[in-house]
Structure 1
Amino acid sequence: MADAKKLTVRSDHGIKIKGFDFVSGDNITFTFLSLILQQNGKYWGENDHVNFQTPEAKKAMTALTSLITDDKVADLTTFGGELDTSDYFFQGNSAMTYRGPWTIAAGLNTYKVKDFEYVPVPSFTTNPPSFAAESGWGLVAAEKSKQQKAAVDFITYISSNENLLAWNVSTFTVPAKKPVAENPEFLKANPYMKTSLDILQLGQWIGPIADRDFFFKTINDHFQLMACGQETVEAGLQNIEKTINESQDQHK
Structure 2
Amino acid sequence: MKKIALLLLFVSFMSYSQGINNYQYVIVPKKFDAFKTDDKYGMNTSVKLLLQKYGFKAYFSDESFANDTMNRCDFLTADLINESGIMVTKIRVALKDCKGNIVYQTELGTSREKQYSIAYSQALREAAKSFETLNYKYEGKSLPFQPTTEKPVVRVSETRIESVSTTNTDEKPVVRVKDNKIETKPNAPFFFAQPTANGYQVVDNEPKVIMRLYNTSQKNVFMADKNGVNGTVLLKDGQWFFEYYNNGNLVSEPINLKF
Structures share fold, TM-score greater than 0.5 = no
Q: TM-score, normalised by structure 2?
A: 0.21
- Which structure: greater strand fraction? 2
- Which structure: greater helix fraction? 1
Report which structure shows greater RCO (CA 8 Å, sep ≥6).
1
Q: TM-score, normalised by structure 1?
A: 0.22
